[in-house]
Structure 1
């Protein structure tokens, strides 16, 4: 492995070379990272669809999403204070998705090994060696989601100023004014930064914690290295995730009952391609 000064460092797999800046994140004993292509990303997505067909869990996700949609709609009946947060909430699924999908990683792992893949087996993830680290990293994502919603609300308050009095008033504020344009540009830029940080740190970290008994530090380092070594494939994956979540969120979030399982299974297969097996 080549370090920042250009010298060579040895590691357990000398046939796998890490380029700078990914090389500076190397620690002895960390999992090895592969270089992949965009074709591998599309293959992972197809394999995710195949897993979903073999292990359909959309009913489970629908049972979770329907109450959420009901609460949001009920709240809107009593006022329009939540309207400015609807888009940030929908966009925020990209921040929580890696943690929400941990049961799907377990099902894909079990299918790969030829084990029982009934939906209830997704709960076996709670018995994996790295589950404590999974919840620790999940708490970090929850804080990122809360921080994103807080900043989104602050940006709306500072740029737009007044709360909407109706649905038409909200769309007029956002879509028909210069302040609305400023809000959309600023909000999407800040949201992109949040999503990029989560993508880079979690693209393989959660599946790895399900698959191996490693710590949060090793999982996050490996995820960042994988992203640095494969910027175009990982960027494509981020675009696929964002597009899928957007399409799934449009019909009152219900489409996420299909999109989330497919992306979750596909994430497992992308992890398998990015990180060398033990």
Structure 2
């Protein structure tokens, strides 16, 4: 019966079933011939800084309209981040704490896929629940979405390797005795300053790469039947055509993620869903 209240177990079973169907559809689309994909290049529109504010406002509207389901999804992000922190500290891999936290944002465009689907469904007047968001992988471009997700995963791994290489070049293989001692060394010594300088420089390049290939490509793949290279090409052209707004968007996302990380990543429960919804509306303003 539509509108019936279901218990958490029933929710979980239904959600799991929809997830299996979604990944099955994505697996089928992995084998889809390229001739079934659209061949026309998406047209990129020029936008201004004001469009970023509009996208954020619409993203907030989506969040408020489906906040119960969105908060359920948003809870996943800080829990995953805290698990990474705990693993890093437990394994005495303190130098990886910041790279893991910063690099987590590189995966954001892929991890927010369900939020794009909620915004798309609300825009189309369809049911928008966390269970419906599971259908994001069942789109005709589900296979392309998975491929692009793997590309971001590889970029994330490359960032971690680079961060560790920078640390090793400055500190050798010296292991910090504690988080406090490491923080004091980084903030109060010359070699710590070098670590911050080179680490942030490399991190900026990785963030720019991730922004260029994924800022609108995931919503585009969700909305249209395209190949990965077509969607990535459109995203790169969007950044090239709108360098100031897109760099401002990247800076805004980074600033909000830092704020959302306090305290103990709990702010991400609100920040990430709003940014996810806003990204969908940014895509709508950029692609014709």
CA gap of 1:63–1:215, structure 2 versus 1, over 3 A, is closer
CA gap of 1:159–1:75, structure 2 versus 1, over 3 A, is closer
CA gap of 1:74–1:204, structure 2 versus 1, over 3 A, is closer
Mapped to 1, the partners of 2:143 and 2:151 lie a distance apart of 13
CA gap of 1:267–1:67, structure 2 versus 1, over 3 A, is closer
Cα shift at 1:71: 5.7
CA gap of 1:183–1:75, structure 2 versus 1, over 3 A, is closer
Equivalent of residue 37 in structure 1, options 40, 44, 48: 48
Report 1:57-72 matches (<5 A): 57-63=70-76, 65-66=78-79, 68-70=81-83, 72=85
Name the residue aligned to 1:200: 212
CA gap of 1:64–1:243, structure 2 versus 1, over 3 A, is closer
Cα shift at 1:46: 1.0
**SS of the counterpart of 1:270?**
helix
Pair 1:102 & 2:113 matched:
yes
Report 1:178-217 matches (<5 A): 178-217=190-229
Is 1:90–1:249's contact at 8 Å kept on the other side of the alignment? Answer: no
**SS of the counterpart of 2:75?**
helix
Q: After superposition, what is the alpha-carbon deviation per residue over 1:207-261, rounded to whole angstroms, capped at 9, x for unaligned?
A: 0000000110110111111111111111111011111111112322222121111
The TM-score, its normalising length taken from structure 2, stands at 0.82
Name the residue aligned to 2:160: 149
Report 1:110-189 matches (<5 A): 110-161=121-172, 162-189=174-201
The TM-score, its normalising length taken from structure 1, stands at 0.85
CA gap of 1:197–1:68, structure 2 versus 1, over 3 A, is closer
Mapped to 1, the partners of 2:76 and 2:238 lie a distance apart of 34
- Deviates most, 140-149 or 247-256: 247-256
Q: Which contiguous aligned blocks of 4+ residues in structure 1 show a shift greater than 3 angstroms?
A: none
**Count of equivalent residues:** 248
Mapped to 2, the partners of 1:109 and 1:134 lie a distance apart of 16
CA gap of 1:135–1:230, structure 2 versus 1, over 3 A, is same
Cα shift at 1:116: 0.5
Name the residue aligned to 2:34: none
Over aligned residues, Cα RMSD in angstroms? 1.7
Name the residue aligned to 1:248: 260
